[in-house]
Amino acid sequence: MILHICCNLAGSTVFPQMFEALRDEGLEQIVFVPEKRKRDMGKNQPEGVETLSALTVRRSDAVFFSRKAKRTVPAIEEAVDMSRVNLMHAHTLFTDGSIALALHQKYDIPFIVTLRYSDIEAIWKYEPHLHGMAREILRAAQRVVFLSGAARDKVLGKWLRSRDRALVEPKTAVIPNGIAPEWLDGTARGGCEHPLRVGFAGKMTKRKRPLDALEAVHRATETGMPCVLRAVGEGKLMNDLVAGLHEGDAYLGVAGGMDAMKRFYAGVDVLLVPSSAETFGMVYLEAMSQGVPVLYTRGQGFDGQFDEGKVGYSVVCGDTKQQAQMLQEIVKDYAQRSGRCAELAKGYAWPIIAKKWMELYEMK
């Protein structure tokens, strides 16, 4: 049996979809959720998968992950028959990984660890005193999984000394997030509109760079290629974005749920989300599934999933001039690229991604 340790279950639809896809593959599994808030208990639980949770994380812990592990290990031992567990999967490096490491040291059960955005772009970057713990977890893990090649290259190139790199690199694998099969009903677009409708979807935050997307659209228009922005999302920069809209641009509010997002993608020709950091970037995959070519950040999660130009282009974060140039480039051979987007997105369906996980679990 596999024990999933997943502190972020309540905040993401990715995890329940993953666990349900693994259920459909016949995997014997149990999910344990170390929770911080009582209101999140029981949230986003996957259907047909035993899921347990306990309030073992406190706000005062902040980045003291050893405290979280010290409280969570006894809670897992009380709830789970550890003699039945032959593999653990920690779904984040720091919170879940520290718990898996403690259990591994006690029971000698192997574990897999997945590195996500918060691990790579937040905790590691701003909490250098945790670097030693991170390296210890990576050394002890049976396998180390990344959502993208770009994330793996960043960790191997910047986190590890040569000795640790030689140990960790052979254990690495890249398995992206999946997409629900219900998304995969998109078809090729025959062409794009004039002016070009450029979509932005995501939180209106500094990391997602919605104001850069707006500026790139205006730059492209000024250089002879008329574009308009169509934006959905909310956040601190929402009012700034609305204040900067030109004639023809539109802020469309918050699009909640798959049907609303499909309607949004139906009304855009290209997606531009020039984030400063992404571990994967589900929004690009969702757009592709609807036949919408994408512009994604160079060197971040989605970069490297496909050859440059196949479904879109990488853009340099912060360089709105270059982003405007790529808007002009992406309309070339638009119908063919749109068709490739819809077709290639099918390779990310959760049943396909779940099989990749099953292969990894069996290899250990």
52 and 146 share a domain? yes
Report whether pLDDT(364) > 60: no
260 and 316 share a domain? yes
3-state class (DSSP) for residue 195: coil
309 and 354 share a domain? no
Report whether pLDDT(107) > 70: yes
Length of the chain: 364
Domain membership of residue 241 as a residue range: 181-347
3-state class (DSSP) for residue 308: coil
How confident is the prediction for the chain on average, in pLDDT?
A: 93
141 and 238 share a domain? no
343 and 354 share a domain? no
Q: How far apart are CA 167 and CA 173, in angstroms?
A: 14
Q: From 280, 285, 287, 277, select the one nearest 200 (Cα to Cα).
A: 287
329 and 289 share a domain? yes
pLDDT digits (tens, 9 = 90+) for 111-155: 999 999 888 887 888 788 889 999 999 999 999 999 988 889 989
Q: How confident is the model at residue 63 (pLDDT cuts 50, 70, 90)?
A: low
170 and 187 share a domain? no
Structural domain total, the chain: 2
Q: Kindly report the CATH number assigned to the domain that includes residue 192.
A: 3.40.50.2000
pTM over 0.95: no
pLDDT digits (tens, 9 = 90+) for 238-277: 999 999 999 999 999 998 889 999 999 999 999 999 998 8
341 and 355 share a domain? no
Percent of the chain with pLDDT over 90: 78
Q: From 351, 343, 182, 346, select the one nearest 258 (Cα to Cα).
A: 182
241 and 293 share a domain? yes
